Structure formats: C-alpha cells, structure tokens
Amino acid sequence: MRRMDPRPSITPPSGGPRITRAQLFAAFSGIALAGFGGVLPHARRMLVERKGWLSDREMTELLSIGQLLPGPNIVNVGILFGVRRCGALGALAAAAGLLVAPLVLVLVLGAAYLQFADLPWLKGAFQGVGAVAAGLILGMGARLAHGVPPRPAVVALGAAAFAGVALARVPLAWVVLALAPLGVWLAWRSRA
Amino acid sequence: MELLGHLAVLSLVSVGGAHAVLPDLYRVVVTEQAWLTGTQFTTLVALSQAAPGPNVLVMALIGQQIGGVALGVAALVAFCLPSSVLAYLVARADLRAAGARWARAVKEGLAPVTVGLVLASGFVLMTGTGGNWAIHAAGAAAAILTATTRASPLLLIALGAAIGAFA
C-alpha cells in the first residue's frame, strides 16, 4: 500500500504500523493546534487513541523520557517518537508539525499586540491577562507538587529551587546545575 | 544575538519545560536589558497561553517584540535546537540499556526541582505584572482554580482581561 511512496518510512523494531513523514507532520500539527494551555494530554489522545501508533504503556514511557530531558516537553516527545519511527527526518517532521502552524498563529497575534499595546484603555486588560497567566503557572506548579512525595529532602530541594530563582534571582543555569545532580543523587541513594 | 545565545543555554537547563526558564528570561529581558517592560513580558506569556500550541511559542513572541518576526523565529529555534539535538541523541541510544534504576532516580530527583522552578516562574511573573489589588486577586483566583478544577485557561484569561479593564 505504501509502495508508491518514493521514500518509504522505516518499519519500527517494535513492529508497529508504518508511518510516513507527512503523516507524522499532520498528526503532530493536529496535537499542537488542539492544545490550549498545554498540549501533552492531546498527544496521548492522538497517538494512542486516534492513530493507534502507541500502546498506553509506550506512551507513558515516551512522556516520562520527554519530560526528563531539558527543553520543551512536547517537542522532545515528537523527536523521540519521530526518530524511532522515521529516522532523523521523522524527528524533523514531528517537530515542524508541532511548531510551524502555531508559530504563524502566534506571530500574527504578536503583530496585533504590537499595534495595540500602547493604547491606554487596554493597559488594564493586559495587566489582568498577565496576572492570570502567572496564576495559571502557579496553579500548574501546585498540581505538579501534588504528585511528589513530601519527604523533607524533597521539600528542601523544591524550596531551594524556588528561592534561588524567585527570591535570590540567581541565573537558572547555576540553580539547575547545582540542584539537579543533588536531587538525582539523593533519589539514587534512597533506592540503594 | 545576546538573546539567542542566552536562549540556547537555557534550552539545556530547562528542566520542566519552557515555563521553568521564564524567570531567568525575565531577569535578562526586563530587569537587566530593559528590552521589554514587566507588563509586556507577562502579557506575551498570556498570549502564548491563550493561543493553541505548545508553551514554548512564548519564545517566538518575546523575540518578535524585541526585534521583529525574524528574531521571533530565531528565538524559537535557538531555544528548541540544543535540547532537540540532545533528545535526538537519546532516542538513538538505547535507553533501556541504561537501566531502569537510573531512569527512576533521574525522574524522582528532578521532580522537586521542576516544581520549585515552575512555582518560581508564576511568582516572578505575578510580581512583574503591574496593576492594583483586584488584578492580583484575579491572578490568585486563577491559580486556585487551575490547581483544584479543570477550568479552561482561555476562559480565565478572558476574565482576567475583563477584570483588568474595569478594575
């Protein structure tokens, strides 16, 4: 059925269905455009439920690696999935699918904002919108905190990350380079 | 150029995704370089949340406001490329060979750092937003609703705009 395709996709080692780069691009565009305020839930809906490209367990594994790696989580997921199914160009197709259409949209919004940002009667509205944006992130942080066991070392680590960035305003690179290895070391030891 | 270099470094330490690096970006873009005001910065974050697509697109918005569309696109690429190369290398390596215990230690060890960074991000943006008590109360309400319900972010942002306009 895919014989006509001049650049057939690589059959994955796990024996899942064949996927072309165009299909990857389209699926990840769909994921990106469906998501308001976070697209990760839509990745599961598309890849597991609609396309059947991954099992539930494979999806969970993919998500956890994507979130472990630095960088935008969903882009990591796209790259990991794209490489495994279609090689390097597959990774590119997935990442492009995630970013290109929303980028165009957001640049149009940004251009509109440049036009209207200085209107005095909109100043209050923008302040309100900004405060809600901050609130959304705080709320998400609280949700994340819910999933972490409240052991003293864990709380201290989280508090140190918060204090370093929010209060002391230390560059993020220093905070992460100091605390991430410490956290991993503590977690490693607690399982020894 | 300075912005792009900074974003490329942040890419590799962005444990917890794009939101985790916002305070550091705020420090450079608003506090040190004064390329944008605090309200502009937080409005751009809100715009990226109100638009469909990954959170990381806020990088494109910030670049665009500072130096036009070209810088916007370059900012997004600068932030995505280093971490993407790393993800590519990881995908090529067989992770299962690395052992489940390591993977779990990394996951558990990074989780509290991620929580701290995301909360710091919300805090820095909240203090950077100008406005009166009603505006900050709207932000606090949005935080509580997001933490405890499945309230739509789009709806909350629209309410924030209305409260800000009339407060």
A102-111 residue pLDDT tens: 999 999 999 9
Q: What is the mean pLDDT of residues A42-59?
A: 89
Mutation for A interface: B15, B30, B95, most A CBs within 10 A = B15
Angle at CA of residue A142, ends A139 and A146, nearest 5°: 140
Does the beta-carbon distance from B157 to A132 stay under 8 Å? yes
B52: helix, strand or coil: strand
**A12 in contact with chain B, both atoms CB, cutoff 8 A:** no
**How many CB atoms sit inside 10 A of residue B162's CB?**
15
Q: Are B80 and A72 in contact (CB under 8 A)?
A: yes
Helices (H), chain A: 21-34, 40-44, 56-68, 73-116, 120-146, 152-162, 172-190
Output A179 or B97, whichever has higher pLDDT: A179
pLDDT of residue A16: 62
Q: Which one, of A5, A36, A33, lies nearest residue A18 by Cα? A: A5
Nearest to B113 among A123, A171, A180 (CB): A180
Query: How confident is chain B (167 residues) per 10-residue block, as mean pLDDT?
Result: 93 89 94 93 90 92 96 97 93 67 83 92 89 90 92 88 88
Does the beta-carbon distance from B51 to A102 stay under 8 Å? yes
> Chain B neighbours among A 20-59 (CB < 8 Å)?
32-39
pTM of the model as a whole: 0.86
**A84 in contact with chain B, both atoms CB, cutoff 8 A:** yes
Distance, in Å, from the CA atom of B165 to the CA atom of B167, rounded to the nearest integer, reads: 6
pLDDT of residue B136: 93
For residue A134, the chain B residue with the least C-alpha distance is B122
Q: Which one, of A66, A140, A55, A69, lies nearest residue B45 by Cα? A: A140
Scan for tokens 């990350």, then name that residue.
Answer: A161
Nearest to B80 among A75, A134, A147 (CB): A75
Q: Are A95 and B77 in contact (CB under 8 A)?
A: no
Does the beta-carbon distance from B83 to A76 stay under 8 Å? yes
Distance, in Å, from the CA atom of A150 to the CA atom of B65, rounded to the nearest integer, reads: 41
Measured between its terminal Cα atoms, the distance across chain B in Å is: 39
- Break chain B into its structural domains and give their ranges: 2-131
pLDDT of residue B97: 56
Q: Are B49 and B56 in contact (CB under 8 A)?
A: no
